[in-house]
Amino acid sequence: MLKTNPYQLLQSVVNLTSTRDLFALETCLITTLQEIISAYSITFYEIEDRNDYHALNAVVRVNTQNPVDGAVQEENQLPLVMEQDASILNSYLTNTQVVVKSRQHSGVSVIHPVQGINKITGFLVIDCESLVQKDQDMAAGFMRIYYNWLQLINDNERDTLTGLLNRKTFDAQIEKTLIAAHSEKKRSDDIDHPDYLAILDIDHFKKINDKFGHLYGDEVLLLFANVMRQTFRDRDQLFRYGGEEFVVILKNIPSDMAMTVLERFRKKVESQIFPQIGNVTVSIGYVTIAGQNLPSTVIEQADHALYHAKEHGRNQVCSFDTLQAEGEICPEVAYSNDIEMF
């Protein structure tokens, strides 16, 4: 039974559509539902793609006893679904319908699939004493509002041609990444591995446009973006920086793996057949996101590594940190104009 009046309902919609931050949006969604439907626990699960299976992580939880528990650390499973039972889990991942399961002791769990862009990205699980259809219809309605708002945020944050994150989103994300790196460093090195910023530049792209036309040039950009999606992990952030230049933020990756992953991408691009064009190559420069204070410094360092790759034959991956250690880049370049910000 509904626990709120029409004014509160309207205010809930206003609150839900007032944020562009994904975690804040998820938190607002379940706190809103807690206020308007009868439930003793509501949990927002995200799907994380691992190497050979899907992990289900509870990122936000709310119940009648405790306030919102954000960023829940432990891995969780959907009710009555064991991760190792791939067939059952996969049926959830392909089912867009609401599922109702009896709980082990009493009550029911109502599982609402969270529809992301082109795929199910998680589950909203409502634990309640009994199935009240009006409550679940209300929850389903708010899930649709959530999805529609998510699409608007997605359209604003993504490049219209490739579908990758755009320059505006990159500017916001690199600042967050730097702040997080400084915060972790000041607390202690309690993260497993650092993040890396890589700039990817398609070699001789202007010649492609001049010779074949912009239509084929755009197709190269689209296929290039697809290779990026196929090569990098879901947790990595992929951007179209502008023109034929792309950026990847490799998240929490060992130093020896950063070069391996980027080299694998370079080879994949080199072996890709682009219609009418044939083969295309890419030059890559990257740097560890560590002690820098300004986004411009990180970008400049990766750009120096990219310039070195371009000047020394193209179609290769260069590390700023390695080039600096070997004396190929002057030490002054490392933190030029990098004033204290954090």
pLDDT at res. 246: 98
Q: Does residue 228 register a pLDDT over 70?
A: yes
Question: How many Å separate Cα 230 from the centre of its chain?
Answer: 14
* Pair 150, 172 in one domain: no
CA distance 251 to 48: 14
* Residue 189 belongs to a domain: yes
Q: Among residues of the chain, what percentage have pLDDT more than 90?
A: 39
How does the average pLDDT of the chain come out, rounded? 82
Residues 178 and 312 in one domain: yes
CA angle centred on 160, ends 268 and 210, rounded to 5°: 65
Q: Do 46 and 179 belong to one domain?
A: no
**Domain final residue pick, 157, 185, 216:** 157
Amino acid, single-letter form, for residue 159: D
pLDDT reported for residue 333: 53
What backbone phi and psi angles, to 5 degrees, belong to 128? Answer: -145, 170
Residues 284 and 197 in one domain: yes
pLDDT for 35: 83
- Does residue 82 sit in the same domain as residue 231? no
- CA-based nearest residue to 320, from 294, 340, 292, 280: 292
Q: How much is the pLDDT for 116?
A: 73
In a domain, 193, yes or no: yes
- Do residues 30 and 90 share a domain? yes
Strands 108-115 and 195-202: unpaired
Q: What is the CATH number of the domain that holds 315?
A: 3.30.70.270
Whether residue 235 lies inside any domain: the answer is yes
pLDDT of residue 38: 86
CATH number of domain containing 123: 3.30.450.40
pLDDT (tens digit per residue) in 39-91: 888 888 887 765 556 667 777 888 765 555 544 444 445 554 434 445 555 66
244 is a catalytic site residue: yes
What's the average model confidence in pLDDT over 205-223?
95
Catalytic residue among 157, 244, 328, 340: 244
Kindly report, residue by residue over 158-205, the tens digit of the pLDDT: 999 999 999 999 998 999 888 888 775 544 444 578 999 999 999 999
Query: Is residue 342 in some structural domain?
Result: no
Lowest pLDDT segment from 125-134, 137-146, 149-158, 234-243: 149-158
**Whether residue 324 sits in one domain with residue 292:** yes
Closest CA to 34 of 74, 77, 10, 65: 65
- Alpha-carbon gap, residue 93 to 116, rounded angstroms: 12
- The answer to whether residues 266 and 304 belong to one domain is yes
21 pLDDT band, cuts 50/70/90, is confident
Domain final position from 157, 189, 211: 157
Of 111, 131, 157, the position where a domain reaches its end is 157
**Is residue 64 domain-shared with residue 125, that is, in the same domain?**
yes
**Top-confidence residue, 312 or 106:** 312
Residue 338 is predicted with a pLDDT of 54
Which residue range forms the structural domain that includes residue 55? 6-157
- Confirm whether 126 is domain-assigned: yes
Is the same domain home to 196 and 225? Answer: yes
Structure confidence by residue, pLDDT tens digits, 260-316: 999 999 999 999 999 989 999 999 999 999 878 899 999 999 999 999 999 999 999
Number of domains making up the chain: 2
pTM reported for the whole predicted model: 0.69
- Same-domain status, 134 and 211: no
Separation of alpha carbons 30 and 48, rounded Å? 20
> With bands split at pLDDT 50, 70 and 90, how would you rate the model's confidence at 245?
very high
